[in-house]
Amino acid sequence: MSDCIFCKIAAGEIGKLVYEDDYVAAFDDLNPVAETHVLIVPKKHIASLNEIDADEHGAMAGHALAAAAKIAAERGLTDGYRLVSNCGAHGGQTVMHLHFHLVGGRAMGWPPFPEE
Ligand code: 5GP
Ligand code: ZN
């Protein structure tokens, strides 16, 4: 999608990729919430998890999950990490190109409602 910032980053037109394969690309978040905060995105534009079709996107989804584990290992996140995809308004999604937040480097709480 021509006016999508994550499409441009995934295509290598702007920014710097920290990982890529045939299906996904990954780059550091602009406003990191932890020492490691990487965004893993499909190279082909998909708006959110709501558009996932298992047959069409299964390989991409598998590559995204494998990329998360690979990047986590490269970053030395031996104590663990979190992988999150915010979906829609209640999920807190602000960029409408599917992305997985890989966050690590500090202990995180659960459930994820710090304001309550
Ligand atoms: P969301 O709120 O949609 O789950 O997450 C969007 C994420 O994208 C945010 O963490 C935000 O900091 C990040 N972000 C927004 N615009 C850019 C950008 O142009 N470059 C990078 N690297 N990250 C971005
Ligand atoms: Zn896009």
pLDDT of residue 39: 98
**Residue indicated by tokens 């480097």:** 105
pLDDT of residue 1: 75
- Ligand 1 binding pocket includes 36 (Cβ within 6 Å): no
Q: Which ligand is nearest to the CA of 4?
A: 2
Domain 5-104 - what CATH class? alpha beta
What pTM was computed for the model?
0.97
Atom 18 in ligand 1: which residue has the minimum CA distance? 30
pLDDT of residue 2: 80
> Which atom of ligand 1 has the smallest separation from the CA of 86?
4
Residue 105: burial class (beta carbons within 10 Å; 0-12, 13-18, 19+): middle
Residue 99 in contact with residue 49, Cβ under 8 Å?
no
Q: How far is the CA of 76 from the centre of ligand 1 (A)?
A: 23
Weakly modelled stretches of the chain, pLDDT under 50: none
pLDDT of residue 45: 98
- Domain boundaries of the chain, sorted by first residue: 5-104
pLDDT of residue 73: 98
Is 99 labeled as catalytic in the residue annotation?
yes
pLDDT of residue 112: 80
Closest Cα partner for 71 from 22, 16, 25?
25
- Ligand 1 binding pocket includes 93 (Cβ within 6 Å): yes
pLDDT of residue 29: 98
